Structure 1
């Protein structure tokens, strides 16, 4: 018996090591996949990338693409990684910016759906639905503030361009000279690219894009499952320790937990049952959701470090995503006049949904599907 008990911990440790090695390989696969999308898009579009996206050249259409794609795929990390790959292949950055904003809104649907699991208990559902939708209202308010500013001044595009230029610069002393990640992924990307090239530029390019998207789905899904096994217990401990210690602690821990589990949807969904049970108040949970927005940007920044094609533009859109989420926290949470708007809206909606369950369903359909359709209607008139 003693010998068996001594062996068990070693076996458990061995399994953990293997799981971490698998996570590293999947992250490598993710970076390769983003490189494939960039290469495939460049191959298929040739020099006509801008013309291909002329139909969606206004911000409202880009916003809709981001919202609906993320609501359907249920992963902003997946959508933003795909956007990074497309930008590397020639998708204009100015079109990609509203797509990234839309991805932030679309990812909020996950925790809102999770809150429906509390629908049978009125007070519990009110607390859970409010905790879920505070993330929605924050992201919607961010879009209302920053999309008009972006359309008028290109604030995020310029900031992201400046940050990416710090890494690439204008001379030879740039990230290109020491980008070992790109060098490490080149054999896989080039091998797949060579295999599809025989199909011709357009068909081969489209095939390469589809392979890249499929690999991103596989990599992010499997990484998410593995990290949940490895880290969710620790993530809950961090959350319990940090919530209630103040807003800065909440934001920082929300960022850390999301980096650990690589999913803002997982982070925010972890909080919904805690809010429903009454363990934490909405105002305590609110800063934690803001940190989740920041933490989810890590995937896109990582993916942008090794793309082929227009690598500086890819890093630019990844930085834009990060800056957008940080500025959202600074402006909305930093200004007292804006800080409580998401909380008050979520509390009001939670109370309404508790009295009328159809209001919750109407809200989900309205925000994630009807509103995007209206945006498309507006965009067609521009």
Structure 2
């Protein structure tokens, strides 16, 4: 007896869909790493041109407040805390390589990271009101507590840690101590320096970053070229994270309602699910925003 046509085509189409999904995620990761290297290279150019102004900003007494505001504003504009955090890390790394004192870079960078995480509360609110037109009043009301929980958690934790950073420099000291531990005790710097060329140098830096930087600075100069490159690479970070998010959305849309429900069956599983999603996609905004449709459709509840 011949197999039905639809069932026979299901296997190849399913395999094709999975391969496309894997390819989408791999491309997103590649673009993300490339953009990080690009931001680092562009900030070396920017710091070389505006060294005095940047030093004055990061060394001022108001530097922590300025950094917090930059983090909140950045996440609010691009709707990606991990894009802001990633850009901050590689930017500070680039400026330290160009001559900025490490302590000043960390003192300014830590509040930006805190502000970026606080900005995720705006992302969740936008997602909820974006879904408003496609759901009922009852479904809309069921999503509000989930968003408020995340907002309250973020505000309380950021307030506490920001106060500790301003008064004691607690987070900066922890970061410096960990860096010293990794270098002196574990010998990470010596381990990595043993490799003259890393895989990032071979696949990304040498064929993509260096030629692009050279071309743009040759055409526009170091000052304008550095700013333009930073904007381009930062936008690429956002695009790469969006690509990864879409890949995750495809998984959710594949009709796996029972698996979604099982993932949030109890608090421990819910915690591990949220941790895993954020770890995979590198964005707490994506992780918390993905829960909003689940709340609206009653696949999961707040408890």
TM-score tier (shorter):
0.7 to 0.9
Query: Helix, strand or coil for the counterpart of 1:173?
Result: helix
* Cα distance in 2 between the residues matched to 1:243 and 1:99: 32
1:159: Cα distance to partner? 2.2
Give the counterpart of 1:185 among 199, 204, 207. Answer: 204
Query: Helix, strand or coil for the counterpart of 1:90?
Result: helix
Structure 1 residues 136-215: aligned runs within 5 Å: 136-169=151-184, 173-178=190-195, 179-187=198-206, 188-198=208-218, 199-215=220-236
- Quick check: 1:101 aligned with 2:114? yes
Aligned residue number for residue 73 of structure 1: 78
Aligned residue number for residue 33 of structure 1: 35
Give the counterpart of 2:291 among 271, 281, 285. Answer: 271
Q: Deviations over 1:279-301 (max 9, x none)?
A: 6553x2xxxxxxxxxxxxxxxxx
Aligned residue number for residue 102 of structure 2: none
Q: Is contact 1:227-1:260 (8 Å) kept?
A: no
Relative distance call for 1:102 and 1:12 in structure 2 (3 A) is: same
* Cα distance in 2 between the residues matched to 1:35 and 1:228: 27
Relative distance call for 1:270 and 1:205 in structure 2 (3 A) is: closer
Query: Helix, strand or coil for the counterpart of 1:59?
Result: helix
Relative distance call for 1:278 and 1:210 in structure 2 (3 A) is: closer
* Cα distance in 2 between the residues matched to 1:237 and 1:176: 48
Relative distance call for 1:195 and 1:230 in structure 2 (3 A) is: farther
1:232: Cα distance to partner? 5.8
Q: Is contact 1:16-1:230 (8 Å) kept?
A: no
Return the TM-score normalized by structure 1: 0.64
Relative distance call for 1:84 and 1:22 in structure 2 (3 A) is: same
Which segments of 5 or more consecutive residues in structure 1 lack a partner in the other structure? 285-382
Relative distance call for 1:190 and 1:167 in structure 2 (3 A) is: farther
Relative distance call for 1:140 and 1:49 in structure 2 (3 A) is: farther
Which segments of 5 or more consecutive residues in structure 2 lack a partner in the other structure? 97-104
Give the counterpart of 1:221 among 235, 242, 255. Answer: 242
* Cα distance in 2 between the residues matched to 1:33 and 1:20: 20
Q: Is contact 2:80-2:238 (8 Å) kept?
A: no
Relative distance call for 1:26 and 1:126 in structure 2 (3 A) is: closer
Aligned residue number for residue 269 of structure 2: 249
Q: Is contact 2:261-2:299 (8 Å) kept?
A: no
Q: What is the root-mean-square deviation in Å for CA atoms of aligned residues?
A: 3.1
1:194: Cα distance to partner? 2.0
1:23: Cα distance to partner? 2.1
Instruction: Give the paired residue count.
Output: 282
1:149: Cα distance to partner? 0.9
1:63: Cα distance to partner? 0.9
Return the TM-score normalized by structure 2: 0.79
1:152: Cα distance to partner? 2.3
Aligned residue number for residue 346 of structure 1: none
